Chains A and B, each alone.
Chain A
Amino acid sequence: MTEGGKFRQSPNYNRKQYKAIMINRTERHFTLAAGALCLGGIVLFVCMAAYALLAFDAPGTPGDGAVFDAYVWRVARFTLLQASLSTLLSILFAIPVARALARQTGFFGRVWIIRLMTLPLGLPALVAALGLIGIWGRQGALNTAFAALGLDQPISIYGLSGILLAHVFFNMPLAARLMLGGLERIPGEYWLVGANLGMRPLSIFRFIEWPAIRGLVPGIAGLIFMLCATSFTLVLILGGGPAASTIEVAIYQALRFDFDPPRAIALSLLQIAVTSALLVAIRLLTPKADDGHGGGRKVRRFDGRHGFGRIGDWLVIALAVLFIALPLASVISSGLRSDLIRLAGDTMVQRALVTSIVIAVVSSLLCVVATAVMIRARQAAMAPRHPLALHRGLAAAISASSSLVLLVPPVVLGAGWFLLLRPLGDVAVFTPLLVVLINMLMALPFVYRVLEPAMTTHSARTARLAASLGLGGWNRFRFIDWPALRKPVLMALSFACALSLGDLGAVALFGSQDMVTLPWLLYSRMASYRSTDAAGLALFLGLVCLVLTIAGTPSATNNDKGRHDAAA
């Protein structure tokens, strides 16, 4: 992380000033500079694209002034409504699921359930929509089962209910995984004390579990809210009509159908303004996180072993697994009906597979490194008791950018950068780089939500110890940071990989025939009537995602080892 190991403390090291995090001054400045650089790069990347679009004098543009007409307000209202409800439901359902998984640690297949929860992220919206329809649709498994009982299609998902269902399908598992991470960071001593005091489940939830979760809720809720607010394909397919449209639909329409860049930018700003107002409200309404300090004792829970608690947990886990797995099973079963052997032998498919994997791996690595650097910088900036205004600004900007970047429509970034790069020659040459950067940007909020709480807890537990041992730079990373942060880092990588794999947007913007990704090929097959081929490709995509998830969720024993190493 820095120029090298420093075992000697520098003589002018001021212990009092840097009470919480004692890293030496050079390293702190280096960390701050690196964080500022990453942040600056991201802000520049977004602003330059917006500027290029605004400065562009479009030929034959209609541009008839009024941006904020009744239509836009109606769309904005619906965006807020569906995103708020989706967020609320995802969070509410995620809490019992995360709690049940945290309590029941010993059973076979637990790690597979956790892996299952990353899969929805890796599915393109269209594939997920078809999977959901395969279960919940008019001709889906549920309605077919009800028909056998003599009921005529009692479930209709088209409308707000379908949008909520799809958003909960995508986001409940995400929220549950992030919360599970928080519950697993509760120090082992808490459970020992809880058991000694004979705490009942309600007290345990109130005094131990909820304090660990509630600090995460604003971040998770914010992330889900943004994902739902910018949802486009799902909202249109399942919404049942134009009454269900998001601002993102209007942005897409403005830029790609009407080609009115100023309107697209204005709508993007509206989207950012409306959503960030809500994010601030969420943050103000929720109390601050409470991070427990412990000696790194092995976590062993004593609750939920018997009786109703255990049965309840099993019920919650079973329902959650069914809810997530059934639509995936529907995707798999359509996939199996295609000619998988021919598809696997298809050179186009192989090329697309390799391209997708390379993009996913590169963008997720970049994303994790950049995010980790920014989080470190934020910690370093806020470490002194009275941080400088400049440093406070940096910290605030980092946490804001980690949220708001999702609200920048990729279509705006794509068009803007197309304009910027065109004078340099063939834009197709830059396509891979831009796709990697856009994917990296879109994964940043996810990675931030995974790494930030883990790094904060870790730093609170080990920073003083490391400083008193005089550990810094590479040595601290190797002996203190990596063993404890390995698990969240891998999880962040697998989230980012899955997102990037399932992403159609960034590639579609440049539409270069030289760069074909799996989702792009899937849409292309669908567009030429080959929907069975598309189903087969969706299966491949799911498999690749599963492999990456397995790598991203190592089995529990390694993690326990890590805890002990970290504490040693």
Chain B
Amino acid sequence: MRKAIIPFFGPFLVAIAALTTAFSASAEDKVLTVYTYESFTSEWGPGAKVAEAFEKTCGCKVSYVSVADGVELLTRLKLEGASSKADIVLGLDTNLVSEAKATGFFAPHGIDTAAVKVPGGFSDDTFVPYDYGHFAVIYDTQVMKEPPKSLKELVEGDPAQKIVIEDPRTSTPGLGLLLWVKSVYGDQAGAAWAKLRDRVLTVTPGWSEAYGLFTKGEAPMVLSYTTSPAYHMIAESTDRYQAAAFSEGHYIQIEVAGMTKAARDPALARDFLAFVTGPEFQSIIPTTNWMMPVAATKEPLPEAFGKLVHPAKTYLMSSDEVAANRKAWIDEWLAAMSKN
């Protein structure tokens, strides 16, 4: 009888034992729970290296909870409410800051951010920037010999040369382009979109779909980041894809991290936010998250980063302004882009 039962229940017993030890082990150590987006913790992302580096100094364990993207991160927090397990939320962008603050879940960080240098300047008592990138039109040098040199040239250029953009209703780069056009054109943004519309091959739900179409060769241009060519130069050793520098300047996306009021160990959370702006973390970011560092790195950046477009002028709207006008501006975009 015993013989018959053990093979059947054996695996369950082992599993239960494993679970019990896992829980008891984690109860003894300090754990810092970091909510972030999926590409941060993916095998190519900075997550594992960041956790390893921080764990060396803190005597704690870093545990990630990852969701699809920055927007989803905020949704998850709202769904979880005050009882969220998050100590740190890493991966919101500046457009979401005012909405994130309105939830009342975040606590002021209280750390010194003097070392942080972000183009256009961004400082906040609640959120700490950890990387940034400028939105840019990436073009295929094999197809386009003369890329647009300004947003105006993009808008008014040859409609036969197409661009793939992202939808501002469902993606952050899409919203970025919307704000970029608004910053440059102001009241004329609707007219600019109506003109650009002929050049738009299609509007994808997210960055991945747009970039996939672009690298497949469907369109010679795509809306992405100034840092995209760095990936192709470093990981694929090709300088085929380049960013077009626009004379009006580029809109910036700054990614930020913050600590929650419910953080179990506020001192530890604060240490992590300080670590995020330190050289250790900043050195990991460029070649894993493919964004620009906001503070000094341990070694100089790889050569490829020197070849990137570094915009002379940076656009950034306050997140309050974005929150107040987003709906109206998306309606304007819809109206201009939907005419047949």
- Which residues on A are within 8 Å of B, measured CB to CB? 56, 58-60, 62, 64, 71, 74, 126, 129-130, 133-134, 137-139, 158, 232-233, 236-243, 249, 252-253, 255-257, 259, 348, 415, 418-419, 422, 426, 428, 508, 511-513, 523-524, 526-531, 534
Contacts and interface: CB of A to CB of B under 8 A. Distances in A.
Contact of A237 (B43, B205, B337): B205
A410 to B, nearest CB: 13
Contacts of A523: 208
A508 B206 CA distance: 14
A257 B323 CA distance: 12
A51 B8 CA distance: 41
A523 B211 CA distance: 12
Contacts of A134: 216
A71 B44 contact: no
A130 B66 contact: no
B197 A511 contact: no
A126 B290 contact: no
Given A240-B201, A253-B170, A511-B72, 20 more contacts: A133-B218, A233-B205, A236-B209, A239-B202, A239-B203, A241-B338, A255-B75, A256-B170, A259-B74, A259-B75, A415-B75, A422-B83, A508-B68, A513-B65, A527-B38, A527-B39, A527-B42, A529-B228, A529-B290, A531-B211
Nearest to B208: A526
Interface stretch (B99-107, B278-286, B295-303, B314-322): B99-107
Interface string B34-49: 0000110111110000
A267 B72 CA distance: 20
B231 interface: yes
Contacts of B127: none
Contacts, number: 148
B201 A138 contact: yes
Contacts of B44: 528, 530
6 closest cross-chain pairs (CB), A and B = A60-B102, A511-B67, A243-B338, A526-B208, A139-B217, A253-B169
Given A249-B169, A513-B66, A58 B211 contact: no
B334 A71 contact: yes
B60 interface: no
B38 A257 contact: no
B207 interface: yes
A241 B337 contact: yes
Interface residues of B, number: 63
Residue with the highest number of chain B CB atoms closer than 10 Å, among A58, A242, A348, A508? A242
Nearest to A60: B102
Given A241-B200, A524-B38, A529-B231, A126 B334 contact: no
Interface of B: 38-39, 41-45, 64-68, 71-72, 74-76, 78-81, 83, 85, 99, 102-105, 162, 167, 169-170, 197, 200-205, 207-209, 211-213, 215-219, 228, 231-232, 235, 290, 327, 331, 333-334, 337-340
Contact of A60 (B38, B76, B99, B209): B99
Contact of B72 (A133, A239, A256): A256
A interface majority secondary structure: helix
A529 B162 CA distance: 21
B204 A236 contact: yes
Nearest to A52: B79
Nearest to A509: B68
Contacts of B75: 255-256, 259, 415
A253 B331 CA distance: 13
A530 to B, nearest CB: 7
B211 A236 contact: no
B78 A242 contact: no
Nearest to A240: B202
Contacts of B169: 242, 249, 253, 257
Nearest to B323: A62
A527 B208 contact: yes
Nearest to B67: A511
Contacts of B78: 58-60, 259
16 contacts: A59-B105, A60-B78, A126-B212, A130-B216, A134-B216, A138-B201, A233-B209, A237-B202, A237-B213, A239-B203, A241-B203, A253-B169, A418-B79, A419-B79, A426-B85, A524-B38
Nearest to A348: B43
B212 A511 contact: no
A238 B216 CA distance: 15
B228 to A, nearest CB: 8
A256 B171 CA distance: 10
A225 B215 CA distance: 33
Contacts of B203: 236, 239-242
